[in-house]
Structure 1
Amino acid sequence: MQATAKLLTIAAFTGVMTLTAAGCSVARDQQTVGAYIDDAAISTAIRARFIEDRLVSATAIKVETLNGEVQLTGFAKTQAEKDRAEELARMTSGVKSVRNSIVVRP
């Protein structure tokens, strides 16, 4: 029960941070408000998948989305973790493409 509450807290915090940090893209005319909200939802959904997956470290991988294009950055312990993170991102509704810039660092 505590693990579920912790996961939900992390997901909520991540969602709020996404909405706060990505607001600059709307101000710089990189996307519409609607696209910004869609991108925030995509990023949050991907992070939630990372939290649920035992192979992927949700805290070590950053997710950014702009107009449906997802950028993954951060560090993975294995190539399998890097590949799984990309797979989870690609499976998420609304994702047009994924750029996987995760560095494998054992």
Structure 2
Amino acid sequence: MKYARALAFAAVAGLTIITATGCSVARNQQTAGSYVDDAGITAAVKAKMAEDKNVSATSISVETLNGTVQLSGFAKSQTEKTQAENIARNTKNVREVRNSIVVRP
């Protein structure tokens, strides 16, 4: 059940990214192939966050451009912020992670 929920969450996150950022390919910011790769990276990071009890996947946004993952949103502690970054760094095909998560008590 937990695994199915994580997969469903990742699928929704992936579709949201494709729908919300579809214009970037048209603006020649990245190729269609790298766009699909980036969407896959984003979905994988969100799925791993959804599985982790110490990270609130709904409070953290994940965006990927050319293999660089941008994390933003809010964390309850420095530990949660660090764990979210570690999850992103350890995801396949991630080249760089930029962590802009704000810790809010």
- Normalised to the residue count of structure 2, the TM-score between the two structures is 0.94
**1:72 aligned counterpart, secondary structure:** strand
Alpha-carbon distance change, 4 to 91 in structure 1, aligned in 2, over 3 angstroms = closer
Of stretches 75-84 and 13-22 in structure 1, the one that deviates more from structure 2 is 13-22
Identity score, percent: 60
**2:101 aligned counterpart, secondary structure:** strand
* Residue identity matched to 2:18: L
The separation in 1 between residues aligned to 2:44 and 2:9, in whole angstroms, is: 12
Map of 2:87 onto structure 1 = 88
Map of 1:43 onto structure 2 = 42
- Deviation (angstroms), 1:6: 3.4
Q: Which runs of 5 or more residues in structure 1 are unaligned?
A: none
- Deviation (angstroms), 1:7: 3.1
Map of 1:25 onto structure 2 = 24
- Normalised to the residue count of structure 1, the TM-score between the two structures is 0.93
Map of 1:57 onto structure 2 = 56
* Residue identity matched to 1:8: L
* Residue identity matched to 1:74: G
CA RMSD, Structure 1 to Structure 2 (Å): 1.1
The separation in 2 between residues aligned to 1:96 and 1:6, in whole angstroms, is: 27
The separation in 2 between residues aligned to 1:41 and 1:7, in whole angstroms, is: 14
Q: Which runs of 5 or more residues in structure 2 are unaligned?
A: none
Runs of 4+ displaced beyond 6 Å:
none
